[in-house]
Structure 1
């Protein structure tokens, strides 16, 4: 079972690298678009109207992709002082509870993101000419990824593998 979870983890590690690269590309793209908007406004005296809306959509993507990877890697802010003095068994219990809370949070992101997308499907983002639901796609995808990556953490913990820093597994990289 442990070997199967390690193979799954290796595949997920490759996918999360792609997510991070996409998030980085989104950040670079947003920065470039905002730079173009400032250039257009102050130098060309002709502000491109679509850049701000596109930048906001890109921001949603790089935030939620990065947040999902942060869930997997255990890099989010947390209050760990108490955990250092507790026995390993209690630490694992607290980490497991935390993963279930993240799964519930991701489920809420998917559920409410889907409702918002349904509600705004018939509207159009004026500057881009695309459905208003596009503003919520990153929320839905981010929630799904948070759920899947938290389930991976639970699986790893269930078979006795490390969940704090995944790079320590030899098969992973």
Structure 2
């Protein structure tokens, strides 16, 4: 089981790395688009009508992809004070419960994000000329990654392998 989980972890690591690269490229693109808009507006006295909606859409991608990677790495928001007084088994149970709740949240992102995308699929963004569904696809994609990465953390823990950030702290105590 541990060898299988190590293989799964390599695949998930590749997926996580790709998501992080896409998020980073999105951040750079958004910055370039906003800088171009400022240049066009204040120096050329014109406007790039597509730059703001494109930047907002790209921002959705890097936020949700980056958040999913943060969950995989164990950097999501948590309240760890109780973990300092619990034995190892109690820590693992609480971490697993946390991962179950996070996976459920990711499932909600998929479900409700898909509903929003379907409801806006017929609308067209005037300045970009694409479907309004594209505004909500980052929620769905981020939700898929959140679920996958949360399930990976649970499976790694069940196989006796520690998860990234929490595993390091658990091995020290």
Both proteins in one fold, TM over 0.5 = yes
Q: 1:94: Cα distance to partner?
A: 0.6
Aligned-residue RMSD, C-alpha: 1.4
Q: 1:166: Cα distance to partner?
A: 8.9
Distance 1:145 1:57 in 2: 18
Runs of 4+ in 1 over 6 A off after TM superposition: none
1:94-138 deviation digits (Å, cap 9, x = unpaired): 101101101110011000011101110110011000000010000
Distance 1:164 1:89 in 2: 17
- TM-score, scaled relative to structure 1: 0.94
**Any idea what SS the aligned residue of 1:48 has?**
coil
Distance 2:113 2:19 in 1: 20
**Any idea what SS the aligned residue of 2:43 has?**
helix
1:110 equivalent to 2:102? Answer: no
Distance 2:97 2:141 in 1: 23
| Match of residue 171 from structure 1 | none
**Any idea what SS the aligned residue of 2:162 has?**
coil
Distance 2:100 2:78 in 1: 15
1:147-168 deviation digits (Å, cap 9, x = unpaired): 0010000100001101133998
1:62-117 deviation digits (Å, cap 9, x = unpaired): 00110010010001222112111111111111101101101110011000011101
**Any idea what SS the aligned residue of 1:89 has?**
helix
Structure 2: runs of 5+ lacking an equivalent: 169-173
Q: Is the 8 A contact 2:75 2:165 kept in 1?
A: no
Aligned residue pairs, count = 168
Alignment of 1:80-91 (within 5 A): 80-91=80-91
Alignment of 1:32-111 (within 5 A): 32-111=32-111
Distance 1:52 1:140 in 2: 22
**Any idea what SS the aligned residue of 1:45 has?**
coil
Structure 1: runs of 5+ lacking an equivalent: 169-173
**Any idea what SS the aligned residue of 1:124 has?**
coil
Relative to structure 1, the CA distance from residue 44 to residue 167 in structure 2 (aligned partners, 3 Å threshold; closer, same or farther) is farther
1:153 equivalent to 2:153? Answer: yes
